[in-house]
Amino acid sequence: MALLNILQYPDERLHTVAQPVAKIDERIRTLVKDMAETMYEARGIGLAATQINVHERVVVMDLSENQDELRVFINPTITHKEGDTTYEEGCLSVPGIYETVHRAEKITVEAFDEQGKPFTLDADGLLAICIQHELDHLMGKVFVEYLSSLKQTRIKAKLKKRAREAL
């Protein structure tokens, strides 16, 4: 397994729309393992392939305390949304920034697991929020883009300043 580089907002590659996975094979299973290791190492709860500059529809997620309940979504599609909720979200691609985002309260998602088996999942709470957040990445959208243009400008400036100071 390998740790992968996570793209940082406002990197333009985060706006690339991911393509469907054509074949779930050993290459995809290796990608899933590497993404999971990267997510765990970064102390995240979700990671989309877009965030590591792989533009295929693959998401890994683990909301458990012990990091032992990995969920894999390949070619995921939200087929139903219901209700409205808000949650203070963060993102591995936007480190240290947390903002309140409006999302659907309940969703249904259809996807394939890493073995190629199709499944349907009804989700609410943090799981529903996380799925919506990660699927946005696959569509080339970062959570801060739900915010006002003023907030987006401030966040970009803050992250660029951090990057300069890190050199």
Q: In the numeric block, which tokens belong to residue 164?
A: 């300069």
- To the query of whether residue 134 is one of the catalytic residues in this protein, the response is yes
Q: Which residues contact 73 (CB under 8 A, 6 or more apart)?
A: 58, 59, 60, 61, 109, 111, 112, 131, 134
Q: Which residue has the tokens 């074949």?
A: 23
Q: Which of 88, 89, 134, 165 is catalytic?
A: 134
**SS3 call for 130:** helix
Superfamily of domain 12-166: Peptide deformylase (3.90.45.10)
Tens digit of pLDDT at every position of the chain (167 positions): 679 999 999 899 999 999 999 999 999 999 999 999 999 999 999 999 999 999 999 999 999 999 999 999 999 999 999 999 999 999 999 999 999 999 999 999 999 999 999 999 999 999 999 999 999 999 999 999 999 999 999 998 998 888 888 88
**pTM, to two decimals:** 0.96
